[in-house]
A and B are shown apart, each in its own frame.
Chain A
Amino acid sequence: DAKTTQPNSMESNEEEPVHLPCNHSTISGTDYIHWYRQLPSQGPEYVIHGLTSNVNNRMASLAIAEDRKSSTLILHRATLRDAAVYYCILRESGNTPLVFGKGTRLSVIA
C-alpha cells in the first residue's frame, strides 16, 4: 500500500485557517487522495478527495501538488467542532479498504 506521512499533531486558533499537510511520495497514477476525520468517540467521516486538481466542498479545500507527491487539507475557518484526528489516505484502484495511518490530531483553541 502507498504510504502517507502526516505530522502527529497541530494546533490552531479558532476562526483561523488551518493547513494540514500530507506527504505521499510513492503515490501511483491511479491513486485518489482521500481525507477523513474522526471526532472524539465517533467513527471516521469523509471530508474530501481528489486526483490531480484542487477540490473545494462545503467542509474544506484540498490542494494537490503538481507532482502529486504531497497535498494539503485546508480548513478555512477552524471551529471548536473541527477538533479531530485527520487522516490522509491513498485509495488504490477498485473498491479497496481504506488504509489509515495515525493521522494528525488537530486541536482548536478558543
Chain B
Amino acid sequence: GAGVSQSPRYKVAKRGQDVALRCDPISGHVSLFWYQQALGQGPEFLTYFQNEAQLDKSGLPSDRFFAERPEGSVSTLKIQRTQQEDSAVYLCASSLVGQKDTQYFGPGTRLTVL
C-alpha cells in the first residue's frame, strides 16, 4: 500500500524566503509527527498532531515555524524568513494511536537555505 509521502523532496531557498513542506500520511493514521534532522544527527521532534489538533508543538525551534493539519489528513510545515540554520532534512511520520504503534516515516524533504 501507499506509504507516507512528502513533497518536495528537495528545496533550495534563499535566506529570508518562506517555504512550505507537505506531508501525506498513510490513510487512516490519526497521529502525525514532524521531525528535523541535521546532518550527522538523529531526527529531533518538532510537533505532533492527533487528527486536526496540534497537541504538542514544544519542539518547534522558533515562531518562524508553523504547522497545520486542517482536515486531519495532509499536513504542511511552514518556515517563514528562512535562515541558514534551518537547513536540514524534515521528516514526517504517521501512526495509529498507541504507545506500541509503529511510526511510518516519509522520505523527508531536504531543505537547503543559501
Contact = CB atoms under 8 A, between A and B. Distances in A.
A45 B99 contact: no
B42 A87 contact: yes
Residue picked from B33, B48, B102, B107, most chain A C-beta under 10 Å: B102
Contacts of B105: 43-45
A95 B101 contact: yes
B16 interface: no
Residue picked from A93, A94, A97, most chain B C-beta under 10 Å: A97
B43 interface: yes
Contact of A95 (B45, B98, B106): B98
B56 A97 contact: yes
Residues of A contacting B: mostly: loop
A91 B108 contact: no
B75 interface: no
B104 to A, nearest CB: 7
Nearest to B31: A95
Nearest to A94: B99
Nearest to A93: B99
Given A32-B100, A43-B93, A95 B50 contact: yes
